[in-house]
């Protein structure tokens, strides 16, 4: 009887493991070395200033700017936005994890400046929202990853001193696009268009 119980448990464990869809152990060693993933190559940016200018250019593109400000206005915390932007850059091979941690504070400051320039109220982290319930289970507490903890720690001591003077100047001179402005429709209509044929 005891052997049957053990077999059932082992079968349940095997079934559970069979449902997992993670990579097979050692799979990364079998990938084609001529086609590495972006994070397996040297990063695009290796200095803080280079990465900051790249981030500033990316975040001030009209579509990106509007998406960031809209998300902040809808209640997304600055820390979450920062984490999303920086992790995306890491996955695309823009910077390594060490530089990503150095970018936390300046990126949060740039995002807050963008929101202030647009007149959007923002919250720095989840603690700014009275509607967010505290985590009450150990699983939720264990679910915090290292980057999330680092962002929360940086959020408490955000300083303008982490931004280079050139970027501060660009931030103050930056004129945000209107969130209510209509997109201009191109007047160049192709002669082969069905709209022209009438």
User: 3-state SS string over 101-152?
Assistant: HHHHHHHHHHHHHHHHHHCCCCCCCHHHCCCCCCCCCHHHHHCCCHHHHHHH
Our count of domains for the chain comes to 1
Residue 98 lies in a domain: yes
Of 10-19, 81-90, 118-127, 171-180, the range with the highest mean pLDDT is: 81-90
Q: pLDDT of 126-143, one tens digit each? A: 776 555 455 444 444 455
Q: Which domain holds residue 161?
A: 40-127+142-175
Q: Burial, 108: exposed, middle or buried (Cβ in 10 Å; 0-12, 13-18, 19+)?
A: buried
184: pLDDT strictly greater than 80? no
Mean pLDDT score, 158-183: 70
**What integer pLDDT is reported at residue 153 of this predicted model?**
59
Alpha-carbon span 189 to 196, nearest angstrom: 8
Q: What percent of the chain has pLDDT above 70?
A: 65
Residue 183 lies in a domain: no
Q: pLDDT of 74-110, one tens digit each? A: 989 999 999 999 999 998 999 999 999 999 999 999 9
Residue 19 lies in a domain: no
**What integer pLDDT is reported at residue 37 of this predicted model?**
79
**Residue 154: band (very low, low, confident or very high) from pLDDT cuts 50, 70, 90:** low
Residue 27 lies in a domain: no
**What integer pLDDT is reported at residue 7 of this predicted model?**
55
Alpha-carbon span 17 to 11, nearest angstrom: 10
Could you say which DSSP state residue 157 is in?
A: T
**What integer pLDDT is reported at residue 131 of this predicted model?**
53
Residue 66 lies in a domain: yes
Alpha-carbon span 176 to 66, nearest angstrom: 9
Residue 1 lies in a domain: no
Residue 74 lies in a domain: yes
Alpha-carbon span 42 to 121, nearest angstrom: 38
C-beta separation of 51 from 95 below 8 A: yes
Could you tell me which residues come within 8 angstroms of residue 189 by beta carbon, excluding any fewer than 6 positions away?
Answer: 195, 196
Chain mean pLDDT for the chain: 75
Residue 32 lies in a domain: no
């Amino acid at each position: 009887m005891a052997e049957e119980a053990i077999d059932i448990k082992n079968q349940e464990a095997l079934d559970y493991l069979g449902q997992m869809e993670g990579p097979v152990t050692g799979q990364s060693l079998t990938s084609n070395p001529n086609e590495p993933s972006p994070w397996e190559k040297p990063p695009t940016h290796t200095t803080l200033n280079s990465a900051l200018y790249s981030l500033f250019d990316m975040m001030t593109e009209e579509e990106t700017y509007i998406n960031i400000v809209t998300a902040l206005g809808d209640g997304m915390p600055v820390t979450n936005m920062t984490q999303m932007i920086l992790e995306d850059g890491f996955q695309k091979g823009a910077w390594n994890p060490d530089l990503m941690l150095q970018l936390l504070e300046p990126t949060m400051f740039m995002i807050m400046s963008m929101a202030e320039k647009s007149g959007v109220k923002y919250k720095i982290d989840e603690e700014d929202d009275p509607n967010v319930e505290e985590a009450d289970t150990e699983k939720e507490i264990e679910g915090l990853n290292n980057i999330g903890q680092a962002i929360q720690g940086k959020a408490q001591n955000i300083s303008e001193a982490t931004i280079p003077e050139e970027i501060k100047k660009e931030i103050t001179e930056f004129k945000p696009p209107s969130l209510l402005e209509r997109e201009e429709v191109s007047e160049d209509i192709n002669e082969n268009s069905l709209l022209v044929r009438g």
